[in-house]
Structure 1
Amino acid sequence: MTERLSVEVAYARPERQWLVGLSLPSGACALDAVRASGILAQCPELDEAALKLGVFGKAVKPEAALREHDRVEIYRPLLADPKEVRRQRAEAGKRTKKGG
């Protein structure tokens, strides 16, 4: 096992994205990487207590242990519930078919 881990932290807004490479002590967790990345300080919309994180597209808890070359992803909150959006589209489609 290595003494240090090489990992990345990724976050994206519609207008900008961050990809920060880090070297962390072995045994570091996902939240350690986010804190060390400096992204929280640059993005006031992120609430450390409510972060949704993943590693290579798979959701993980903030305390999840990291492995060499992991990419920790910070997910933005959804603007709309996907189920509700689909329901609204289906309703709009029904109205269009009846009216046409």
Structure 2
Amino acid sequence: MPRVTILHSPGPREVREQALDLPEGATIRDALVAAGLTPVEGEAVGVWGRKVALEEVLRTGDRVELARPLKVDPKVARRERFRRQGSRAAGLFASRRPRAKPGY
């Protein structure tokens, strides 16, 4: 009997973990049904961070992760944050040592 772990995040900064014993030959879809979860359109399903199909057969020790879709594109969020903060407060060289050369 494969023992797998199911992880999902119902909301921001909230992660739920559930360990399951499944019959031999169980798929990811079987594991999600056993955990009481159903993948919604836009949610990604993966094993150890690698995106997989719901028909993939699970092995002992697999960690199934159900990821929510992003609400904002990370590139757009970074641009908006930079626009709000300005160029002085953002970036790698924002806090320089006193009397240091530019870029250090």
Q: Is TM more than 0.5 here?
A: yes
Q: Aligned equivalents of 1:63 and 1:32: distance in 2?
A: 9
Q: Aligned equivalents of 1:22 and 1:16: distance in 2?
A: 20
Q: Cα distance, 1:28 vs. partner? A: 1.2
Q: Aligned equivalents of 1:31 and 1:50: distance in 2?
A: 16
Unaligned runs of 5+ in 1: 41-45
- Over 4 Å off, 4+ runs: none
Partner of 1:74: 66
Determine which structure has more spread, i.e. the larger CA radius of gyration: 2
Aligned-residue CA RMSD (Å):
2.5
| Number of equivalent positions | 87
Q: Aligned equivalents of 1:16 and 1:75: distance in 2?
A: 12
Which of 76, 86, 91 is the aligned partner of 1:96?
A: 86
Q: TM-score, normalised by structure 2?
A: 0.66
Unaligned runs of 5+ in 2: 88-104
Percent of aligned pairs sharing the same letter: 36
Which of 26, 37, 45 is the aligned partner of 1:28?
A: 26
Q: What's the CA shift string for 1:11-45, capped at 9, x where partnerless?
A: 122264321111111111112111110134xxxxx
